[in-house]
Amino acid sequence: MEFILLLLVSAIPLIISIAVLFTPKTHITIAMAVFLFLLSSWQMDVSILYANGVLSLDTIDLLFRILRGGSIFLMPMMYYFCYHLVQETPSLSHMKGLCNKSTLYIMIGFSTIVYLFNFTEAGIETYHLVHAEGISPSHWMPVYGPLNSLFIINTFFIFINTSMLSILSLQIKIKVYRSFYLKLMIAAMFILFNGVMSGFSFFPLFFSSFNSIIAAIILFFGFFQMQSSKIHSMNKELIRQSDLLEAIMNINPNYLLVTSGKNNIVKVNDSFCELFSFKVKDLIGFKFSDFPEVKEILNENLEQPSKHTDAKGRVRYISWGTRELQQSKTEIYQIYFGIDVTEQKRHEQVLLSSEKLKVIGEMAASVAHEIRNPLTTIRGFIQLIKEKNSDSKYENILLDEIDRINEVLKELLILSKPEAREQGQAGEIEVYVRDEIRSIHMLFHALALEQNKNIYIEDRLKKDCYIKIDKSHFKQVIINILKNSLEAISKGGKIKMIMDERAGKVRIRIIDNGEGINKQRLSRIGEPYYTSKEKGTGIGLTICFKLMKENSGEMTVKSKEGCGTSVTILLPSHQ
């Protein structure tokens, strides 16, 4: 009866060791399971000694010798805990000379020798029966041989290793790990003390078995406390990493949406929500098929960039793609991603415009050269005819028209290269803004009145300043803008020309209340051959932009459909 009870008690550490193996397998988990298994083996060999009347003495002898490995191999096991602690704790690296793999192998080898001698008469000679006395039932006691001193030395090293573990444990900074190793050390000391005292008959032999239950339970709760703390720390780290990935996903300028295998939306970033004017809570958890307009855009525009206007009215060109992500056999996700290629499109348009200008320039130079040569000859002959026939008026008309053709040709040549400036002709370079604007206003005032339209000047210049630009170029820019404004306004419309200074530059604003320009046309303003006029060529504003750039100036056009247009010119000012 006592044998069965003690055997059941000694099985408790074994059950706990098996339970420990069901936790995530790490070095410390396996070591803990082995420690509890050795403890169980030690207590089983004690319970075997109480099997008189149940088992034969030969069977008891064989089982006792086999199970005695539990108490013997606890010595290298305690050293392994010290070794593992030093290897895993950077602050204990100075102890690596004492706790190293070579010493561990020596201790395992020594315990193996002790265990092998245990199977000889030098280890255990015979047994004698201890009769029941008081609360202690009858049981067999081994009579140890001459080499049992090796077992005593092995036990002494268990105390040494356990003491070393206690010293190392106190140096651990992380509280939960320090607590676990101290519990391990206390449990080991408690078991060893009871085992030694029972072995020398100070306590009944079976006391160590009951005390091992207490030690095993202490270790069990200490271990799971440590594991719970690890899991809690890992969860916190996973949450932190998840938040970091979420933040990275949200600051990503690309548009991202992730759906699960069941077609549910599981992830979406802020850029995507902003593009389609959604909120995250409006998308997460819902079926992708619940948003047919989004699904159609994402699924049907995988070949080439699609054009999309966001909530702020900005036109975006987006290249959409999709990838399948398989997390496991049952978890499959679909990732939709959009790359904004608006800037790339804009650069392509700039490059295209540049190529157009290049072609136009080459063509203009060629055409102008071919026309001007015969035109010079024609003008010369008309001049001779005029001198011979002074009464005729037709020659003057012809000469004026030829001069107009020359002006047009000069305008074409501007597209190919800037006109050469003669540095000696200061009158052609220094343009007094106030005088020139008034001169141009006078030129257009009569035309505007004839069309029942008005042109006003607001002179906000505090000083009489000038700008360095070819006078014909300046006139050409202002006249071109005024012509466009006159054509844009209806009868009764107004054009305002405002002159002022801003940050050391002369600013000229020409503002009309005409029909305005839509966003699409405004984005391509100044592009050669792009015009809204039925009879326009689309090169007038192109020339204006080119002239401004060549004279260190700036020209910007702002417009709102139905409200009017404002053209701003900035040129360096000189007093």
Distance CA 441, CA 425 (A): 25
Mean of the per-residue pLDDT values for the chain? 79
| Predicted pLDDT at 66 | 93
Helix, strand counts (H, E) of the chain = 18, 14
Q: What is the pLDDT of residue 53?
A: 79
**Confidence class for position 194, pLDDT limits 50, 70, 90:** low
Tens of pLDDT, residue by residue over 382-431, are 877 777 776 666 777 777 777 767 766 766 666 555 544 433 333 357 88
The full set of domains in the chain, from first to last, is 2-234 (1.20.1070), 252-340 (3.30.450.20), 345-416 (1.10.287), 426-572 (3.30.565.10)
Q: Tell me: pLDDT of 208 over 70.
A: no
pLDDT tens-digit readout, 152-193: 899 889 888 888 888 888 888 777 777 777 777 777 776 666
pLDDT, tens digit, for every residue of 447-489?
Answer: 888 888 899 899 888 777 888 887 778 888 888 888 888 888 8
Residue 437 has pLDDT above 60, yes or no: yes
Q: What is the pLDDT of residue 251?
A: 79
Give whole-number Cα distances, 31 to 17, 106, 223, 548, in Å.
10, 18, 11, 82
pLDDT, residue 267, reads: 86
Tokens of 500: 């002022």
List the single range of 170-184, 263-277, 333-347, 531-545 with lowest mean pLDDT.
531-545
Cβ neighbours of 107 (radius 10 Å): 21
Residue that wins the pLDDT comparison between 1 and 93: 93
How many Cα atoms sit within 13 Å of 463 on the Cβ side?
11
Q: Distance between CA 482 and CA 510 in Å, rounded?
A: 8
How many CB atoms are closer than 10 A to CB 365? Answer: 15
pLDDT at 245 over 90: no
- Phi and psi (nearest 5°) for 308? -140, 135
Q: Quick one: pLDDT at residue 12?
A: 80
Q: What is this structure's pTM? A: 0.48
Name 467's bridge partners: 431
Position 84 confidence tier, pLDDT thresholds 50, 70, 90: confident
pLDDT-based confidence at 511, cuts 50/70/90? very high
Is the pLDDT confidence value at 113 over 90? yes
- At residue 211 the predicted structure's pLDDT band, cuts being 50, 70 and 90, is low
pLDDT value at 532 more than 60: no
pLDDT, position 139: 80
Q: Which of 335-344, 441-450, 552-561 has the highest mean predicted lDDT (pLDDT)?
A: 552-561
Residues 6+ apart with CB under 8 A from 384: none
Measure the CA–CA gap between 72 and 74, rounded to whole angstroms: 6
Range 440-473 burial, b when 16+ CB lie within 10 A, else e: bbeebeeebeeeebebeeeeebeeebbbebbebb
Token pair 């009951």 in the structure block, residue: 210
